[in-house]
Amino acid sequence: MVLPTAARPFYGLIPNFLKRQMMNPKYIFLLVGVLMLSTSCNDILELEPLDAVSETALWNDPELLEIYVNARYEELPHGYVQWAGGLRVTSLTDESYDIHQGPRLTSKYTQGEITPANMHLFGGFWIEAYSAIRNLNTFLEKVDPELGEPVRMAQLIAEVRFLRAWFYTELFSRYGAVPLLTSTITVDGAGQIQERTPVDEIVSFIDSELQEAAEDLPVSYAGNDFGKATKGAALALRARALLYGASPLFGQGTPEQWQAVAEACEALFDLEVYSLSADFQSLFLNVNDPEVIFFKQFVGIRGSEVNFKLGYYTPSGGHNVEEWRLPNGNAGWSQENPLMNLVNEFETITGEIPVLGYTGADDNLAPIINPNADSYDPSDPYADRDPRLSFSIVHDGTMINNREVEFWECGMDSRCEDVQFWWNGALIDHTIRKGLDLSWEPGNGLSSTTPYI
C-alpha cells in the first residue's frame, strides 16, 4: 500500500482510538473516512504525456523553438505529391491527361462536384494554408523574443513572418480577398465570421512584413541550416506579392503599384547574389544554381510509407516524382501525358508558333500549320523547336538513361499488352520531363531527392 507520510500518524492512533470507541461504528466510519481522504493521492492524477512535448517545455527552450520553426517549413506545399495537389491540376486543364485517375476524378471537376471535402484532390490549398498560418501565429503569440540569443531569436521570428507572408501570397493570388488573420482564434471564438480583407491590404501587410523580416534574415546559410529562408527569399517574395497585387486581376494596377514592384525587384537585384541560369535542364535539379532563390529539398526515404497529412498522401519527407512521371519503359507510371496543345505552344527555333489550330471533324482533325514556321515539319514535329520543348516533355526519340523512348505502338513505352508494365503506358505519346532527374532508376527502394524549386 502506498501511504503518504501525512497519513502515517494515524496509524499510531488507531489502537487507542479503537479501544475507546470500539463499540461505536460511527467513529470507525469517521476514522476510515479520514484515513481514506488522507491516503488518496489525487496528485497522482497530475500527469503529463510521455509521447509529446508539453506547452511549458516548448516555449521555454530556444532549441525546441527552432525545431518548432523547422516543422513550419514542412508545411510549405510542393508540387511533387502523388495523388493530388500540383501534380494533378494540369490534368484538369487541356494541358495534360492523367492516365491513372482518368475520367472519374476529372468528372468531379467538370461536373462541379468539388466540395470542401474533396477540394484537396484538385490542389485546393485553403485548409493547408490556414492550418499552417495558425501554427505560425501561435509561434508569434507565444514566443518570448528575449528567451535566447538575440540575433538567433530575431532570425527565428523573421523566418516565421516570412513563411506567414508566403502563405498569404499564395492565398490571395489564388483566391483574391481572404481573411487576414494575424493572431490565433480560440475554439470559443471560432464561430464568429471573419470578413475578407481586401487584396491591397493583404499586399501591404505582406510588403511590410517581408521588409522587416528581410532585415533579420541572413543572405545565405551554410551547413545544416542551408535551405532556410534567406534575405533574398524574403525580398523576392515581396516582389512577387507586389507584382501580383498590381495585377489587373485584383484592381487597377496603379503606376505607384508598378513603381513599388520595380523598386522591390531592384532591392533583390541589389543583393547581387542571384543571376540567370545558364542551363535550363539542370536548373531544376541544382539548388546551388545562381537562379535558385528558395527551394525545398528531399532525402531518400526507404520504403513506401505514406503519411496522411493535411488531406493528401505524401511519402514522409520524400516523393517519387521520377517514378510517377517517367514512361513505363523506365518502370515509371507515365502519370500525366501532356497534350499536343501544349507541345504546339512551344515556338520553332525561328520563333514562330508552329500550329495555329485544327480543322476538320472531331475524329479527323488536321493541324493548321503556321505558314511562317518554315522549320516546322509535321512528320517530325519535335525537331528544330525551342530547346525547352525537349527539356520539358518526353516524346518519341527522347533519350532517357541511354535509351530512346518508344511511344509508338507496341514500343517499349506504349500501352500494348506485350510490353512490360503496359498498364502504365501513356495514352498520349508524351510524358513530363521538366524537373526530373533522368538518371533515376527503379528499384533501389529509396524515394527521390529531386528538389522542388
**Residues within window 174-193 making contact with another protein, judged by CB under 8 A:** 178-179, 181, 184-185, 187, 190-191, 193
Minimum Å gap between C-beta 119 and another protein is 10
**Closest among 333, 319, 352, 315 to 394, alpha carbons compared:** 333
Burial of 9 (0-12, 13-18, 19+ CB in 10 A): exposed
- Secondary structure element (H or E) that encloses residue 155, with its range: helix 150-175
In the bound state with another protein, the residue whose beta carbon lies nearer, of 54 and 402, is: 54
Minimum Å gap between C-beta 25 and another protein is 5
In the bound state with another protein, the residue whose beta carbon lies nearer, of 115 and 402, is: 115
The whole-angstrom separation of Cα 168 and Cα 203 is: 9
Q: Show the cell assigned to 403.
A: 535509351
Restricted to residues 241-280, the positions that interact with another protein (CB under 8 A) are none
Q: Which of 9, 113, 256, 444 binds another protein (CB under 8 A)?
A: 113
Q: Which of 161, 228, 319, 433 binds another protein (CB under 8 A)?
A: 228
Residues in the chain: 453
Which of the stretches 69-77, 262-270, 343-351, 395-403 binds another protein when contact is defined by CB under 8 A?
69-77
Q: At 204, phi and psi to the nearest 5?
A: -70, -30
- Secondary structure element (H or E) that encloses residue 444, with its range: none
Restricted to residues 23-42, the positions that interact with another protein (CB under 8 A) are 23-25, 28-29, 32-33, 35-36, 39-42
Which of the stretches 131-139, 157-165, 353-361, 394-402 binds another protein when contact is defined by CB under 8 A?
131-139
DSSP state, residue 446:
B
Q: At 338, phi and psi to the nearest 5?
A: -60, 140
In the bound state with another protein, the residue whose beta carbon lies nearer, of 201 and 263, is: 201
Q: Which of 107, 208, 254, 359 binds another protein (CB under 8 A)?
A: 107
H helices of 176-254, where?
Answer: 199-216, 231-246
In the bound state with another protein, the residue whose beta carbon lies nearer, of 64 and 399, is: 64
The whole-angstrom separation of Cα 17 and Cα 26 is: 12
Q: Which of 13, 127, 219, 366 binds another protein (CB under 8 A)?
A: 127
Which of the stretches 147-155, 220-228, 337-345, 352-360 binds another protein when contact is defined by CB under 8 A?
220-228
In the bound state with another protein, the residue whose beta carbon lies nearer, of 48 and 263, is: 48
Q: Is residue 311 a contact residue for another protein (CB under 8 A)?
A: no
Which of the stretches 5-13, 63-71, 401-409, 429-437 binds another protein when contact is defined by CB under 8 A?
63-71
Binding mask 141-180 for another protein (x = CB under 8 A): -------------------------------------xx-
Restricted to residues 357-416, the positions that interact with another protein (CB under 8 A) are none
Which of the stretches 104-112, 258-266, 375-383, 429-437 binds another protein when contact is defined by CB under 8 A?
104-112
**Rg (alpha carbons) of the chain, rounded to whole number:** 31
Q: Rounded to whole angstroms, what are the CA distances from 328 to 408, 426, 433? A: 13, 8, 13
Residues 6+ apart with CB under 8 A from 383: 375, 377
**N-term to C-term CA, the chain:** 63
Minimum Å gap between C-beta 28 and another protein is 6
By CB under 8 A, how many residues form the interface with another protein? Answer: 84
**Closest among 276, 69, 252, 258 to 159, alpha carbons compared:** 69
Residues 6+ apart with CB under 8 A from 52: none
In the bound state with another protein, the residue whose beta carbon lies nearer, of 23 and 361, is: 23
Q: Which of 4, 201, 208, 226 binds another protein (CB under 8 A)?
A: 226
Minimum Å gap between C-beta 37 and another protein is 9
The whole-angstrom separation of Cα 163 and Cα 72 is: 8
In the bound state with another protein, the residue whose beta carbon lies nearer, of 309 and 388, is: 309
Restricted to residues 314-353, the positions that interact with another protein (CB under 8 A) are 316-317
In this structure, is the dihedral angle defined by the CA atoms of residues 129, 118, 436 and 439, taken in order, positive or negative? positive
